[in-house]
Structure 1
């Protein structure tokens, strides 16, 4: 297990590094776009790029996990549209179902992996938001520090962000976005991949500049914060499903985490960083497995499924309540629903649930402006489009 000193450091960094929501509401248009993205470093960076360019609001979910509070957070902005960045493994389809139930327009920009998603998002942004790219910033798609640095450079220069691996056709990507200049960002962990990239850039007669991002103690600690939170989520889901397999995965990953901590304490930041990058990937596999276990558990038990659905409805009701919308009649039905579930009256519970969903949908439709006004006061939002 991780030592108390390191855990305290991670907690402090977590408090400093809580997700920052970028966004606003246009006084003229009253239009809000929400970008829903997972905490995957690659997907989140391109979401932040778009938010910077368009003023859209970012809402983040844990990779591969459904959280009803995320849907409620999206509701709290009363968005006119939601753009999901990432495939259904990263941002699960339950969110699409939630948003469609509320008549919120939603579209997904996601491919089979982070590389396909990257290209799709950049293409869609060029069409939807009329973005024009001044050159490119190229980074390895599995190197978090390089990605963070690439994001900063792309925002500064209005360049397209391109993620690469050993199989990427760099020349084809440069032609696709009609750019001839590239800034290549790498760390010690990605030097081999980026040598392959530089060779292709020479072949296409493209102008390239190289940036070396140096791994620091803070870099490793930031990754440890994310991985530790993911491990907690997997452990919680393992307990909920009584999955010994998941719990074993957590214990094995914690041992790797301890190895990374030992390397960190010894000052070997590059090795600690390499181990943490591997853990990032492994936690995503763990989260995907855990989400599958939760789904299977709900399919096996009506009560569990109904309780999960109730948690979602309560989170949505809470959003409207905070915006000053009268939800008294909905809460009355919710009390009846809880009693029906507790007593095993599942047919009655399902009927009540359908009534509550219809009432929430109607109340949300009628109260959207109140929710939007509340969001302006709470988040201090300004304009959603350039």
Structure 2
């Protein structure tokens, strides 16, 4: 069987972000334990961090466009009442929602056609679900991750909404839609042209705007480069596994640009290196989307790969349940049989055992966390989920009740 280390690269990297303490009473307490599942896309992840700080929700992060079974296991380990996915199925792939459906966990997907519409969807749905009342706004370019860090800090201090803009944004119409008249504009040198255009439009609508410059440091640039290198490593492994000519060709262009960014970084040209890596963020997301498709093709053509992935997904879930205190002895015995069946090429038996393990996991999960009483079991366990895109990004996606 393929090693866990290789699969970890192939299927994504897991990062859990613990929300900071917030002085006001958690809005999430009214709805039970809430997990926010989001990709490592800076715009979506900033929104997730904002909600986590205000509501007490738990943020689980997955690599953009990549499926990692350990992410599902991590979510299950929190025994959530509901999961909010921020971002579309390209960013947070649909397999996660399918995994959670098997546990009858209520899932909401808040998203739009792009990060700007997703931002509006999150603002609208957070207002409805958590009763958040915003005080003003903080505007920031939707691709400027360094500026977003400062924007997040300012938004939390003043309970302001984070509003993403770009060169195509009609600032006047946006302010009217959000019914706000004042904003703080956060920028770096990489986004100053965009923000200058926004500032002129705000003057025309007599809106109040305060400007703040965010610095691009060497450490910020290096962190961004490391994240991009992780993405590239994931694509390289998938390219090697699938033998995709297109992926390999795209990787060459990406790696050339990465070398250029690294040279700028080493020379101390942090702004230049940062701007190059902002371009790389977009390009790697496009490449990850292609990688996901190539991986799905490979799974269809190679039955063993699909079964191995299913085994690792179930293994991660069983380990998460064991940590919660569930007795998984019987399940692990069947898992050993499943592992042996895959190794022996007995795929028919493997498929049968996979169904058996899934049934066993669902049965013990219904009982709730051991030793905690029925009050800890999911109050929304009877709900199924839907993840189709809403016609109006402000409406969000809500589960259908059976």
TM-score (structure 1 length as normaliser): 0.87
**Cα 1:139–1:28 shift into 2, 3 Å:** closer
Partner of 2:225: 224
Distance 2:79 2:353 in 1: 25
Partner of 1:20: 17
Structure 1 position 276 matched with structure 2 position 306: no
Distance 2:266 2:344 in 1: 54
**Cα 1:287–1:101 shift into 2, 3 Å:** same
Distance 1:90 1:264 in 2: 28
Residues 350-382 of structure 1, C-alpha deviations (whole Å, 9 max, x = no match): 121111111111111214355999x9xxxxxxx
> Would the aligned equivalents of 1:39 and 1:60 in 2 still touch at CA under 8 Å?
yes
Distance 2:253 2:318 in 1: 40
**Cα 1:28–1:134 shift into 2, 3 Å:** closer
Partner of 2:240: 239
Residues 53-80 of structure 1, C-alpha deviations (whole Å, 9 max, x = no match): 1000000000000000000000110000
Partner of 2:36: 35
| Count of aligned residue pairs for this structure pair | 357
Distance 2:373 2:137 in 1: 36
Q: What are the within-5 Å matches in structure 2 for residues 161-180 of structure 1?
A: 161-180=162-181
**Cα 1:297–1:333 shift into 2, 3 Å:** same
Distance 1:177 1:369 in 2: 45
Partner of 1:345: 346
SS class of match (2:369): helix
Distance 1:23 1:320 in 2: 26
> Would the aligned equivalents of 1:264 and 1:272 in 2 still touch at CA under 8 Å?
yes
Residues 203-251 of structure 1, C-alpha deviations (whole Å, 9 max, x = no match): 2111000111122212211211111111111112222222243233333
Partner of 1:74: 75
Residues 78-108 of structure 1, C-alpha deviations (whole Å, 9 max, x = no match): 0000000000000000000000001111110
More deviation, 210-219/147-156: 210-219
Shift of residue 346, structure 1, vs aligned partner? 2.1
Structure 1 position 297 matched with structure 2 position 298: yes
Distance 2:29 2:223 in 1: 39
Distance 2:150 2:349 in 1: 55
Partner of 2:333: 332
RMSD between superposed Cα atoms in Å? 2.2
Distance 2:56 2:268 in 1: 40
SS class of match (1:168): coil
Gaps in structure 2 of 5+ consecutive residues? 1-14, 377-402
Shift of residue 320, structure 1, vs aligned partner? 1.1
> Would the aligned equivalents of 1:340 and 1:346 in 2 still touch at CA under 8 Å?
yes
Shift of residue 27, structure 1, vs aligned partner? 12
Shift of residue 139, structure 1, vs aligned partner? 0.5
SS class of match (1:163): strand
Partner of 1:255: 256
Distance 2:372 2:72 in 1: 14
Distance 1:23 1:75 in 2: 21
TM-score (structure 2 length as normaliser): 0.84
SS class of match (1:366): coil
Q: What are the within-5 Å matches in structure 2 for residues 121-200 of structure 1?
A: 121-200=122-201
Distance 2:155 2:286 in 1: 30
> Would the aligned equivalents of 2:326 and 2:369 in 1 still touch at CA under 8 Å?
no
Shift of residue 323, structure 1, vs aligned partner? 2.0
More deviation, 38-47/177-186: 177-186
Gaps in structure 1 of 5+ consecutive residues? 1-17, 376-386
Partner of 2:324: 323
Quick check: which one's helix share is greater?
1
Partner of 1:48: 49
> Would the aligned equivalents of 1:78 and 1:371 in 2 still touch at CA under 8 Å?
no
> Would the aligned equivalents of 1:76 and 1:371 in 2 still touch at CA under 8 Å?
no
Partner of 2:393: none
